Amino acid sequence: MPSDATRSVTLTRTGPGTFLAENARGGTLTLAAGGAGATDFSPVELLLVGIAGCSGIDVDALTSRLAEPLTFTMTASGDKVRDEHGNHMGPITVTVSVDFPEGPDGDRARDRLPDAVEKSRDRLCTVSRTVQLSAPVTYELR
């Protein structure tokens, strides 16, 4: 039986180059190889979504209790590299853009923002921390 710490998703092929991902709670999303004209997210884009989303949740939790943001955008980007190590992402940049209202609550949220981003980057965001620390990935054939 999996522990409370275990996370998993199941991927089922739905057609040529397309898949349905499902989590243990029943949530689903589609993904595709990412060729020209495809609108579904590619696996690399989902990695970027995971990084930006994980940090976005952290930053939001640490700042929005002080003031509701007027705008909140996280962008993750990087170049796909093909070299002697195979296909992988080069350095990934997460750009955080958050605007808070004027006034004392907004000032406190603005003041907390750099610390919130730092905490997410250095300790809280499981996704980016896993990429930074290079967790081993094993494959099993059944």
Domain ranges in the chain?
Answer: 9-41, 42-132
CA distance to 12, 32, 97, 131, per residue, from 18 (Å): 9, 4, 32, 25
Architecture per CATH, domain 42-132, reads as 2-Layer Sandwich (3.30)
C-alpha to C-alpha distance for 74 and 51, rounded to whole angstroms: 9
The tens-digit pLDDT sequence of the chain (142 residues) is 557 889 999 999 999 889 999 999 999 999 998 766 678 899 999 999 999 999 999 999 999 999 999 999 999 999 999 999 999 999 999 999 999 999 999 999 999 999 999 999 999 999 999 999 999 998 999 9
Please indicate, yes or no, whether the overall pTM of this predicted structure exceeds 0.75: yes
